[in-house]
């Protein structure tokens, strides 16, 4: 009777373990994309340029809302200023 519930639980536990791997120890030594904030110099980093642009937008909304950086400006900042760094 409980077999269906158990196999469902096991498969979601496996999925959770897999997601932990993605965000966890497996990233050691992998290159990150990094850009410094034009305004405060804070270093923002992400796995790729797309995510980095999102990170820049989030930072701008949080810290420099009056600069009104839109998505295009955020992408420009990434294209001009981003460099690769090893996350270690």
State the minimum distance, in angstroms, from the CB of residue 39 to Zn ion.
4
Quick one: angle between helices 71-81 and 49-63, nearest 10? Answer: 120
CA 62/CA 64 separation, integer angstroms: 6
Nearer to Zn ion, 21 or 61 (CB): 61
Query: Distance between the two ends of the chain, CA-based, in angstroms?
Result: 48
Site residues (CB under 5 A) for Zn ion?
Answer: 37, 39-40, 42, 63
CA 6/CA 72 separation, integer angstroms: 48
Nearer to Zn ion, 37 or 47 (CB): 37
Determine the residue with CB nearest Zn ion. 37
Nearer to Zn ion, 13 or 67 (CB): 67
Nearest to 36 by CA among 28, 27, 45: 45
State the minimum distance, in angstroms, from the CB of residue 68 to Zn ion.
14
State the minimum distance, in angstroms, from the CB of residue 59 to Zn ion.
6
């Amino acid at each position: 009777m409980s077999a269906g519930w158990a196999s469902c639980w096991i498969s979601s536990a496996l999925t959770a373990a897999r997601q932990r791997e993605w965000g966890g120890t497996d990233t050691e030594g992998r290159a990150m994309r990094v850009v410094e904030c034009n305004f405060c110099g804070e270093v923002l980093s992400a796995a790729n340029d797309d995510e980095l642009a999102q990170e820049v937008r989030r930072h701008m909304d949080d810290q420099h809302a009056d600069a009104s950086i839109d998505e295009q400006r955020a992408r420009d900042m990434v294209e001009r200023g981003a460099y690769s760094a090893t996350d270690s």
